[in-house]
């Protein structure tokens, strides 16, 4: 069995030392989603939600979350992020009354450790913000699944999820 990297010789959690790792361009793309009802869908599309621009606020929340990932995920390294982009797509099936927002969060850095957690945190924060802004209209929203779609850079190489 390989040595666990996040534990010290006393068996206590530690942040991994990445000081000897090579700096490379690292990119991660994460995806999440939130299913909303027809009324919430209409409010988001028409910009009539009482709390404001739902996707605009979720965009800002996602950026802030990515930048602050190390403050909420204990073993994450604080990283100098060089780019964060969040996009939304709708999956709509009116016949089955299904309205789903697909959230794509892409995070970049040039550094010694990856940005997977930052991308996952950004996508999650966007979904949670949408929920928060729309919960007065309907609490039956469903968040997820949330997953890593792609990552590049680093010694472990590239990864891409095939759906």
Query: Counting Cβ atoms within 10 Å, is residue 147 exposed (0-12), middle (13-18) or buried (19+)?
Result: middle
Q: Which residues contact 162 (CB under 8 A, 6 or more apart)?
A: none
Residue with tokens 């209409």: 42
Q: How far apart are CA 113 and CA 81, in angstroms?
A: 11
Give the separation between CA 50 and CA 123, rounded to whole angstroms: 23
Distance from chain centroid for Cα 115: 10
The active-site residue, picked from 17, 53, 93, 132, is 132
132 is catalytic: yes
Is the link from the previous residue into 79 a cis peptide, with omega within 30 of 0? Answer: no
Active site residues: 132
């Amino acid at each position: 069995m390989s040595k666990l990297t996040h534990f010290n010789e006393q068996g206590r959690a530690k942040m991994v030392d990445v000081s000897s790792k090579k700096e490379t361009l690292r990119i991660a793309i994460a995806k999440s989603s939130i299913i909303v009802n027809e009324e919430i869908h209409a409010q988001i599309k028409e910009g009539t939600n009482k709390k404001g621009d739902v996707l605009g606020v979720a965009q800002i929340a996602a950026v802030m979350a990515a930048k602050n990932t190390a403050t909420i995920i204990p073993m994450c390294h604080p990283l100098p992020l060089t780019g964060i982009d969040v996009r939304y797509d709708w999956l709509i099936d009116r016949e089955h009354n299904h309205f789903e927002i697909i959230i794509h969060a892409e995070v970049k850095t040039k550094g010694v450790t990856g940005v997977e957690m930052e991308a996952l945190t950004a996508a999650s924060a966007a979904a949670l913000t949408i929920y928060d802004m729309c919960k007065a209209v309907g609490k039956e929203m469903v968040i997820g699944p949330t997953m890593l779609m792609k990552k590049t850079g680093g010694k472990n190489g590239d990864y891409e999820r095939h759906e």
